[in-house]
Structure 1
Amino acid sequence: MFDGLKDKLSGFREDVEENAEVEEPAEQGEPDGTESAAVAPSEADQSAESEAAAEKPEPTGGDANADGDEPSTFQRAKAFATGRIIIEEEDLEEPLWDLEMALLESDVEMSVAERILDSVRETMLGESRKQVRTTGELVESALHDALLDVIAVGQFDFEQRISEADKPVTIVFTGVNGVGKTTSIAKLSEWLADRGYSSVMANGDTYRAGANEQIAEHADRLDRELISHDQGGDPAAVIYDGVEYAEANDIDVVLGDTAGRLHTSDDLMAQLEKIDRVVDPDMTLFVDEAVAGQDAVNRAKEFNDAAEIDGAILTKADADSSGGAAISVAYVTGKPILFLGTGQGYDDITLFDPEELVESLLGGD
């Protein structure tokens, strides 16, 4: 999952390591290194020398940088002598450009890419780091924090919210046609059942031919109750009936399907507004395909602007190499990704973990 983006992030790390390599100044020791080997200081001596060098004022002429805008040659030499490394603007210029192109090619939204670049630059530029912490580790730490900053926006504990809420909890699903809303409802019903929560499905997609049959097939396979009306009925009334059924039968969660729509479909958006008024759902979840990339990001923003969502589910994440939607949706909407669909089976749904995703992108298992 997201293998293409993993490779591009790895390339950025390698580029910075190559560009930021610090060469030992000639005057630091004998060419053959014998004098350095004979007088090699202990770790404690190195630490003391490092602290003393840090307190010593820098010369005001020659290579020293009076304005302090960029590390001078003197600073670089001192950094090496005291076991530290300095990252300069020139070290990052080309790798950051390549990283920006890589992010955009991976369908990461422009403002999200800019946020990541700014964060990496702020973390690394002009920083003096102990050489015992490699440049690669420094790059990985900067990328980790920058990615987590955008991916984890708005994140909350979904199961805890279900556990603590008054029952029944009503969740409405929305999005465009054909992205897997109905299948995601079935998967979430099974996910809830595995954790001890009962659920009922309510088919608020009353306009699409065959919608009742599609969700009824899932309900039969999972042995769940389905509330539905005839085609052309009022979606708000269907989901309201689902809530009443749940209240009468001590069901924990109502999962309400809705018709696929574009944010520009005024009549369908009006239906969502009516559902909000009549049912007052606890959560509205936006569903789209991870493989849709930038289109999914744009639609998430548009749906959130038109009818506020509480979170998102990205389907087909297992087939997505770019990862742009997974990185961008939360930052663009301010609302978290809650689940990833990862296959065709009812168990193929994964609670979204931003930290786990970042570690995976940076080379973890």
Structure 2
Amino acid sequence: MFNSLKGKLDSFFQDLNRKTITEKDIDSILSDLELILLQNDVSLKVTEEIKEILKKKISGKKINLLENKRAFIKNALKEAIREILSSEKIDLIERINAKKPFVIMFVGFNGTGKTTTIAKLGNILKKKGFSVVFSASDTFRAGSIEQLEKHAQNVGIRVIKHRYGGDPAAVAFDAIEHAKARNIDVVMIDTAGRSEMNKNLIEEVKKVKRIAKPDLTIFVADALAGNSIVEQAEKFSDVGIDCSVLTKIDADARGGGALSIIFVTGKPVLYVGTGQGYDDLKEFDPELILKNIF
């Protein structure tokens, strides 16, 4: 995880101890750091923020007199990134216990692992003793209903579905009514993945949200998408999201998506996908991210 970013930063820090560093050298150091971050898919906005935080931490310090310049700047950068990763924490279990049925809606681009994430989270909640039902509200993409049904079968959860081409909001409505009638704890709504070719799908997602009135809207993003995560998040800003799940983080060598998503969305990351299994969904831990970078 994050091998590329970690390797580039290690080389960057090693070079620092061999240099004479005065106040006037700080801008040059920050420029070198900026290039490393951008090359590893950290968004420009986040890169600029990290530079600004770091500059405040090291400006005015007599860095060249320090015995270990590398450790000083490394720790300052670590603290800057920790600030970027900091966000409010959502206690999902507490929220589910407070309302029945608790409705969760999932949004995201095609190919991000949205349907698999639904199955993973459904599996986790079921193991914690909650009853769950899935809503197959992606009635647009060929094979989407069967994909959700296959996952649901594997984790032992029922799917409420209509035909392809049907009204996605109607499916969500029926799933919620089903949950109310059978005292089910959680409704998890799959939605059509937006793509550049199908801009009207965002309106369908908005309609689902108006009808379902979800208690939590989760944006699912692929860590391997890097800088594209910023663009994807902006596309769903009109829908409104409460938090994110970052998938495929175990295969992400660059780390830019993980560093960018919280700052760009202004919302916390709830979980990260760490593998292909149904148990491979872990609560987001900023310290684990930092450990893999430094």
Q: Normalization by structure 2: what TM-score? A: 0.92
Instruction: Give the Cα separation in 2 of the matches to 1:177 and 1:214.
Output: 13
| Residue of structure 1 in register with 2:12 after alignment | 12
| Residue of structure 1 in register with 2:165 after alignment | 232
1:16·1:91 contact (CA, 8 Å) conserved in 2? no
2:222 matched to 1:289? yes
| Residue of structure 2 in register with 1:333 after alignment | 265
- Cα shift at 1:359: 2.7
- 2:277 alignment partner, SS class: coil
- Cα shift at 1:161: 4.6
Letter in 1 for 2:10: S
1:190·1:347 contact (CA, 8 Å) conserved in 2? yes
- Cα shift at 1:180: 1.1
Q: Cα distance 1:92–1:324, how it changes in 2: closer, same or farther (>3 A)?
A: same
1:12·1:96 contact (CA, 8 Å) conserved in 2? no
| Residue of structure 2 in register with 1:105 after alignment | 39
| Residue of structure 1 in register with 2:256 after alignment | 324
- 1:119 alignment partner, SS class: helix
Letter in 2 for 1:329: I
Q: Cα distance 1:232–1:358, how it changes in 2: closer, same or farther (>3 A)?
A: same
- 1:328 alignment partner, SS class: helix
Q: Select the residue among 192, 201, 207 that pairs with 1:259.
A: 192
Instruction: Give the Cα separation in 2 of the matches to 1:15 and 1:122.
Output: 21
- Cα shift at 1:262: 3.0
How do 1:40-79 and structure 2 match up within 5 A? none
1:19·1:91 contact (CA, 8 Å) conserved in 2? no
Instruction: Give the Cα separation in 1 of the matches to 2:67 and 2:15.
Output: 17
Instruction: Give the Cα separation in 2 of the matches to 1:197 and 1:99.
Output: 46
Q: CA RMSD in A?
A: 2.2
2:82 matched to 1:148? yes
Gaps of 5+ in 2: none
Instruction: Give the Cα separation in 1 of the matches to 2:96 and 2:145.
Output: 29
| Residue of structure 2 in register with 1:348 after alignment | 280
Instruction: Give the Cα separation in 2 of the matches to 1:206 and 1:261.
Output: 13
Letter in 2 for 1:285: I
Instruction: Give the Cα separation in 2 of the matches to 1:315 and 1:217.
Output: 20
Q: Cα distance 1:17–1:252, how it changes in 2: closer, same or farther (>3 A)?
A: farther
Gaps of 5+ in 1: 21-86
| Residue of structure 2 in register with 1:359 after alignment | 291
Q: Select the residue among 177, 201, 204 that pairs with 1:244.
A: 177
1:263·1:302 contact (CA, 8 Å) conserved in 2? no
Greater CA radius of gyration, 1 or 2? Answer: 1
Higher relative contact order (CA 8 A, sep 6+): 2
Q: Cα distance 1:161–1:143, how it changes in 2: closer, same or farther (>3 A)?
A: farther
| Residue of structure 1 in register with 2:61 after alignment | 127
Instruction: Give the Cα separation in 2 of the matches to 1:163 and 1:254.
Output: 10
Q: Cα distance 1:204–1:106, how it changes in 2: closer, same or farther (>3 A)?
A: same
CA deviation vs aligned residue, 1:285-316 (integer Å, no higher than 9, x gap): 11121111111221112212x21111122221
Q: Cα distance 1:231–1:9, how it changes in 2: closer, same or farther (>3 A)?
A: same
Instruction: Give the Cα separation in 1 of the matches to 2:196 and 2:216.
Output: 18
- Cα shift at 1:89: 2.2
Letter in 2 for 1:174: V
Instruction: Give the Cα separation in 2 of the matches to 1:353 and 1:251.
Output: 30
Q: Normalization by structure 1: what TM-score? A: 0.75
- 1:19 alignment partner, SS class: coil
2:239 matched to 1:307? yes
| Residue of structure 2 in register with 1:223 after alignment | 156
| Residue of structure 2 in register with 1:193 after alignment | 126
2:46 matched to 1:116? no
Instruction: Give the Cα separation in 2 of the matches to 1:334 and 1:147.
Output: 15
CA deviation vs aligned residue, 1:253-307 (integer Å, no higher than 9, x gap): 1110011113784432221221222111011111121111111221112212x21
2:173·2:211 contact (CA, 8 Å) conserved in 1? yes
- Cα shift at 1:9: 2.2
Q: Cα distance 1:263–1:337, how it changes in 2: closer, same or farther (>3 A)?
A: farther
1:119·1:146 contact (CA, 8 Å) conserved in 2? yes
1:263·1:303 contact (CA, 8 Å) conserved in 2? no
Q: Cα distance 1:18–1:160, how it changes in 2: closer, same or farther (>3 A)?
A: farther
Q: Cα distance 1:263–1:158, how it changes in 2: closer, same or farther (>3 A)?
A: farther
Instruction: Give the Cα separation in 1 of the matches to 2:96 and 2:79.
Output: 30
2:192·2:205 contact (CA, 8 Å) conserved in 1? no
Equivalent pairs counted in the alignment come to 294
More moved, 262-271 vs 322-331: 262-271
Q: Select the residue among 214, 227, 233 that pairs with 2:147.
A: 214
